[in-house]
Amino acid sequence: MPGRILSSSFHFIHFSLFLFTAIIPSDSLTVPSDIAALQAFKASIEPSTIPPWSCLASWNFSTDPCSIPRRANFLCGLSCSPDSTRITSLALDSVGYSGTLSPVVSTLAKLEILDLSDNSFYGIIPPSLSSLSLLKTFSLHRNSFSGSFPRSIVNLKSLEELDISGNFLAGSLPNTLFSLSSLRRLDLSFNKFTGSLPKMPPNLLELVAKANSLSGPISKTSFVGLTQLEVVDLSCNSFAGVLRSWFFQLPSLQQVNLSNNSLTGLQIWKPNSGYSELVAVDLGFNQIEGYVPVNLSDYPTLSSLSMRYNRLRGPIPWQFGKKGTLKRLYLDGNYLIGKPPAGLLSGNPLVAGSLSYNCLQGCPASTQLCSPSQKPTAVCKQAYGGRNPRSS
Ligand SMILES: *[C@@H]1O[C@H](CO)[C@@H](O)[C@H](O)[C@H]1NC(C)=O
Ligand SMILES: *[C@@H]1O[C@H](CO)[C@@H](O)[C@H](O)[C@H]1NC(C)=O
Ligand SMILES: *[C@@H]1O[C@H](CO)[C@@H](O)[C@H](O)[C@H]1NC(C)=O
Ligand SMILES: *[C@@H]1O[C@H](CO)[C@@H](O)[C@H](O)[C@H]1NC(C)=O
């Protein structure tokens, strides 16, 4: 029966074609070195910290990590290149994975995103990561990494976002940090970094390094050429000295938080050609001496200012009473004298904030800005060399 033979050989051919197509693509999927790197990455995480519902629990290497659709395995935590051969993103869920970061991850040569934030990784940040030349986003936010800032990271020429906040990293920041030429956002907050602020990368938009032990002056050499810098938060460190006039003239500056440092003086010039995008300034809890900087009233978009708990003297500049953009003003805990500008106490809408605990006159405790009270006369007299500043 020729027909029958034909039919079964057709089935045979069909079957082998099926096998063929089932096997060949898996050969052309994820490159073996990327699979090996993922295996090493998972192997360095303590199995007891991998919950059954998590991304990592679905990483079962009996199938190819980049094969799609993903039905049971590799459900999340990674992305592949469009041709399904290379890993481009390793972004874990935040479920408390604990372990070290395997240095073998550095062989994922096409990796653009490495995000392990909000887990419990510990140990050092492997220096070998410097070979990830396409890496754009690197976040280790809130883990338990220790050791120093990995010097080799400064070689990551594609890096746009580096967030190593909330770890136990210590030591000084590398002097070569500025060579991160693509970096837009840098967050070093809540670590134990010490020493001075080095020269910053030229294309930075956001510099955040709150709650470390950084010290020394805030010097122009760290910020030279940073024409795009919008956000600076260096609060809760030990920066000292006088903040000079160049700082507030950085052309793109919008938000500045230098509170809880040891600054002793402040020099603020009018904005260059009247132009500035500055919106919020927090210089509270320093040791700044001198007068409230009247030139701040010339910043056209300034809406929030705190200089609370410093050593400011003299009157509140009358220009602040006419500054319509001002929504929040905290000048409490200084030695300010005289009468607050009328516009502050009676403006509509009212400026929020506090002028309490100064040496002001005509600041009725019944108003929100002046409550609960001013400093006792004895304290004010002492600050003004024995002369009662309220009786002039
Ligand atoms: C991985 O998948 C294979 C095949 O589906 C299964 O036999 C094996 O138990 C899985 N391994 C783990 C660790 O879940
Ligand atoms: C400035 O930083 C301090 C400490 O980190 C924080 O408490 C404060 O709210 C910040 N100021 C503004 C205006 O966000
Ligand atoms: C800032 O310093 C003041 C005074 O030392 C302190 O009360 C406050 O808690 C500090 N703020 C932060 C956010 O550490
Ligand atoms: C205000 O700024 C100008 C330059 O713009 C400067 O000459 C002047 O000294 C500043 N005033 C104060 C009180 O700092």
Which domains, and CATH codes, for the chain?
76-391 (3.80.10.10)
Q: 384 in ligand 4 pocket by Cβ < 6 Å?
A: no
- pLDDT for res 53: 94
- pLDDT for res 51: 96
In sequence order, the 6+-apart residues with CB closer than 8 A to the CB of 92 are 55, 56, 77, 115, 116, 119
Q: 60 in ligand 1 pocket by Cβ < 6 Å?
A: yes
Compute the distance from residue 52 Cα to the ligand 1 centre, in Å. Answer: 13
> Cα(285)–Cα(236) distance, rounded to whole angstroms?
9
* Shortest-distance Cα residue to atom 8 of ligand 4: 269
> Cα(269)–Cα(246) distance, rounded to whole angstroms?
8
* Shortest-distance Cα residue to atom 9 of ligand 1: 60
How many residues in the chain? 392
CB atoms within 10 A of CB 42: 18
Does the pTM surpass 0.75? The reply is: yes
**CA dihedral for 73, 77, 83, 86, sign (positive or negative):** negative
Q: Which atom of ligand 4 is nearest to the CA of 267?
A: 14
CB atoms within 10 A of CB 156: 23
- pLDDT for res 132: 97
For the chain, 392 residues long, give each residue's pLDDT as a single digit of tens. Answer: 343 444 444 444 444 444 444 444 445 699 999 999 999 999 999 999 999 999 999 999 999 999 887 888 899 999 999 999 999 999 999 999 999 999 999 999 999 999 999 999 999 999 999 999 999 999 999 999 999 998 999 999 999 999 999 999 999 999 999 999 999 999 999 999 999 999 999 999 999 999 999 999 999 999 999 999 999 999 999 999 999 999 999 999 999 999 999 999 999 999 998 899 999 999 999 999 999 999 999 999 999 999 999 999 999 999 999 888 999 999 999 999 999 998 898 876 789 999 999 999 999 888 999 999 999 999 999 999 988 888 75
Q: How far is CA 362 from the centre of its chain?
A: 42
Task: Please state, in angstroms and as integers, the Cα–Cα distance from residue 89 to each residue in 79, 132, 135, 262, following that order.
Answer: 5, 12, 9, 41
* Shortest-distance Cα residue to atom 4 of ligand 2: 235
Task: Show the CA angle centred on residue 253, arms to residues 247 and 257, nearest 5°.
Answer: 75
Find the helix or strand (DSSP H, E) in which 343 lies. Answer: helix 342-346
For residue 344, the cross-strand partners are: none
Q: 71 in ligand 1 pocket by Cβ < 6 Å?
A: no
